[in-house]
Amino acid sequence: MSPNYSETALVWYRNDLRIEDNISLTKAIKHNTVIAVYFFDPRQFQKDQFGFVKTGKYRARFQLETIAELRKNLKALGIPLLVFQGKPEAILGEITQKYEVGTVYLQREWTEEETNIRDAVIKAVEPKITFVESYDQFLFDPEDIPYTDFQSIPNVFTQFRKKCEKYSTVRPCMPAPKPLSRALILEQETAIPTLEDLGFKSFDPDPRTAFPFSGGEGAAKQRIQDYFWDTRKLSYYKHTRNGLLGENYSSKLSPWLANGSISPRYIYWEVKKYEKEVVRNQDTYWLIFELIWRDYFKYVSLKHGNRIFQLQGILENNYHWHHNVDVKESWINGTTQEPFVNANMKELAATGWMSNRGRQNVASYWAKELKQDWRIGAAYFESMLLDYDVHSNWGNWMYNSGVGNDPRDRKFNIKLQADRYDRDGKFQRLWLQETLF
The CATH classification number of 217-308 equals 1.25.40.80
Q: What is the mean pLDDT of the chain?
A: 95
Q: Per residue in 129-188, pLDDT tens?
A: 999 999 999 999 999 999 999 999 999 999 999 999 999 999 999 999 999 987 777 777
| Same fold: 8-136 with 217-308 | no
For domain 8-136, give its CATH number from 3.65.10.10, 3.30.565.60, 3.40.50.620, 3.40.50.300. Answer: 3.40.50.620
Please state the domain extents for the chain.
8-136, 217-308, 310-432
For domain 310-432, give its CATH number from 1.10.579.10, 2.60.40.10, 3.30.470.20, 1.10.4160.10. Answer: 1.10.579.10
Q: 64 Cβ partners below 8 Å, 6+ apart?
A: 192, 193, 194, 195, 198, 215
pLDDT beyond 90 at 433: no
Q: 222 Cβ partners below 8 Å, 6+ apart?
A: none
CA dist 28 and 32 (Å) reads 9
CA dist 293 and 392 (Å) reads 9
Cα–Cα distances (Å) from 272 to 241, 292, 363, in that order, read: 19, 15, 33
CA dist 378 and 372 (Å) reads 11
Q: Per residue in 72-87, pLDDT tens?
A: 999 999 999 999 999 9
Identify the band that residue 435 occupies on the pLDDT scale cut at 50, 70 and 90.
very low
pLDDT of 434: 53
pLDDT of 1: 62
pLDDT of 8: 93
Query: Phi and psi at residue 37, in whole multiples of 5°?
Result: -145, 145
Percent of the chain with pLDDT over 70: 98
Q: Per residue in 224-235, pLDDT tens?
A: 999 999 999 999
Percent of the chain with pLDDT over 90: 92
Q: Per residue in 96-129, pLDDT tens?
A: 999 999 999 999 999 999 999 999 999 999 999 9
The angle formed by the CA atoms of residues 165, 166 and 167, to the nearest 5 degrees, is 100
Q: Per residue in 325-372, pLDDT tens?
A: 999 999 999 999 999 999 999 999 999 999 999 999 999 999 999 999
CA dist 396 and 139 (Å) reads 18
Q: Can you spell out the DSSP letters for 141-179? A: -TTTSS-SSGGGS-SSHHHHHHHHHHH--PPPPPPPPPP
The angle formed by the CA atoms of residues 207, 213 and 214, to the nearest 5 degrees, is 120
